[in-house]
Chains A and B, each alone.
Chain A
């Protein structure tokens, strides 16, 4: 009798604990599962993007052959005499991106070398937030700047420059991507071990010599990654070119001409009221697929280059 009195409460306590443990365990598992679902939303987004682009373009490519798509020199899906050659959009994209890189690569590289090798801690603390602020400025505002400030300015220097051209937006886009290039390149250069700099200084090299002949070569793969990411940004940039480069597909590499990029074309069509399922509607998905493939390729390349320098040191 006495033992029972002693035993029963104890058993009760243990079974209660076990039950509570089970509940706790179950709740933990449930929470982990929910969190995992949230993380899977990233995968779902990628899958959805790929599926939508492939699905809508597949109907487009039933009407338009791949040969025509890649060789025809005109892009006029909305005209009576419809042509579906992506080349004019590619030429516009390549030209504006090239101008942007001509601006951003030298300035971004010099800026990165300065930040990583020359700037004092204090200067860096001031410069980096400013660059970050620049990244945060909406692109539509830069479009205004390209159309109504930079282009009129350029027209004073180059008489006869049309008000829609690729030079102005290209330059503005270049200034926009300086921070992207300089921050990734700076990262790469700061990852170069101090001992290499000290070795160079010990040989009597100056800061400049050390930066250019020792640090920059050691960080090459990272700097290349920065350029590739810059190209990817330029190719995907939309509003600046849609506003300031005109929206006429034009197979030209002349920066003085107006032209449409892949992104500008998508904006132009989306602004109009195209019926769902028409060939014009599907053409923006084909153009989008092209853009996605280009940026995906560039991002992968940049990712690999970045991984290389992270492994090196």
Chain B
């Protein structure tokens, strides 16, 4: 009798040991999993600190007010940040109306047939095309066939095509989240489809669409490969003609066809030089690019979080 009891107790101990062992395995795996995810974050932190340590000596007003120069210590980002700003403004005015309109069409208007399927497959596929392919498209089509040259408008249009899928997908997702009864309520008071879309759907999905636009613009700011492919010059010691002029008609669009450089290209250029002094400039540029893109993406993520939390249909 006592022997049987002892063996039961022994079994129980063995079972408990096994449970402990398995629970330990669970904990160990959870730690490994967290660590695996943290590799990315750690890399980002290391990268940022590395850039700061390499480039901090160049952080002064001159970095933003000087043109590039043969002397590394005097070289600045003036033409690059102005170029980035102008290129992104072209991207913004092209990609936003086109992307939002396409998203609205696909979600609210498109009939369920092969035609809509073709458009859908295209959008999905475009999101997976490597960015440098867009550069080749722009080089062949915009630069030579359409004769737009290696200019701000070419770069802006190229990046617009590149971020179009981002804008479309985000627009669709935020429109899809709107419940049907909002649409039915609009129809019930006699609204036409467009009145329903413009007064209600666009109004409610505005935050989500904005998120997509910000993420897309951050991507456009950081993209290098397609802009290099269209042949952006890397040594630009002038500014494009000002868009605003004192005499009527006050607006001037010559800047659209001006040569240009952008922040990531300036960084790439300095990075490809053998002279270490230019690597310091590249590091400082890297800090500027990272801070701006992280701020933009951070805003977008925060915005989406707020929307998800606050909207109760």
Contacts and interface: CB of A to CB of B under 8 A. Distances in A.
Given A110-B36, A209-B22, A243-B272, 4 more contacts: A114-B37, A119-B33, A138-B222, A141-B222
B122 A179 contact: no
Contacts of A273: 231
A42 B135 CA distance: 16
- With most chain B CB atoms within 10 A of its CB, the pick from A35, A42, A148 is A42
B50 A149 contact: yes
Contact of B229 (A136, A237, A270): A270
B141 A140 contact: no
A119 B31 CA distance: 10
A52 B37 contact: no
Nearest to B25: A208
Interface stretch (B6-14, B65-73, B237-245, B279-287): B279-287
Interface string B233-258: 01000000000000000000000000
Q: Is the interface of A mostly helix, strand, loop or mixed?
A: helix
Contacts of B87: none
Pairs A-B, 9 closest by C-beta atoms: A114-B33, A236-B130, A138-B222, A38-B101, A136-B297, A35-B105, A52-B140, A238-B225, A39-B102
Interface in A139-175: 139-145, 147-149, 172, 175
11 contacts: A38-B97, A42-B122, A55-B140, A110-B33, A118-B29, A136-B222, A136-B296, A178-B39, A263-B132, A284-B229, A292-B129
B131 to A, nearest CB: 7
A225 to B, nearest CB: 12
A208 to B, nearest CB: 5
A141 B290 contact: yes
Given A42-B168, A208-B29, A263-B225, A136 B218 contact: yes
A36 interface: yes
Interface in B9-41: 22-23, 25-26, 29-30, 32-34, 36-37, 39-41
Interface string A20-46: 000010011001101110111111011
Contact of B130 (A118, A123, A134, A291): A291
B228 A52 contact: no
Nearest to A262: B132
- With most chain B CB atoms within 10 A of its CB, the pick from A123, A145, A295 is A145
B236 to A, nearest CB: 15
A39 B229 contact: no
Contact of B136 (A123, A175, A284): A284
A245 interface: no
A138 B293 contact: yes
Contact of A149 (B46, B97, B110): B46
Interface residues of A, number: 89
Interface of A: 24, 27-28, 31-32, 34-36, 38-43, 45-46, 48-49, 52-53, 55-56, 106-108, 110-111, 113-115, 118-119, 123, 127, 129-134, 136-145, 147-149, 172, 175, 178-179, 182, 206-209, 211, 229, 232, 235-239, 242-243, 263, 266-267, 270-271, 273, 276, 284-285, 288, 291-292, 295-296, 299, 302-303
Contacts of B189: none
B109 A32 contact: yes
B280 to A, nearest CB: 10
Interface of B: 22-23, 25-26, 29-30, 32-34, 36-37, 39-41, 43-44, 46-47, 50-51, 54, 97-99, 101-102, 104-106, 109-110, 118-119, 122-126, 128-137, 139-141, 144, 161, 164-165, 168, 192-194, 215, 218-219, 221-225, 228-231, 234, 264, 267-268, 271-272, 279, 282-283, 286, 289-290, 293-294, 296-298, 301, 305
A281 to B, nearest CB: 9
A73 to B, nearest CB: 24
Given A48-B141, A137-B222, A144-B283, A285 B22 contact: no
A206 B41 CA distance: 29
Given A42-B164, A144-B271, A136 B228 contact: no
Contact of B129 (A39, A148, A295): A295
Contact of A144 (B39, B51, B165): B51
Contacts of B298: 133
Contact of B289 (A36, A134, A138, A208): A138
Nearest to A247: B272
B229 A49 contact: no
A136 B212 CA distance: 13
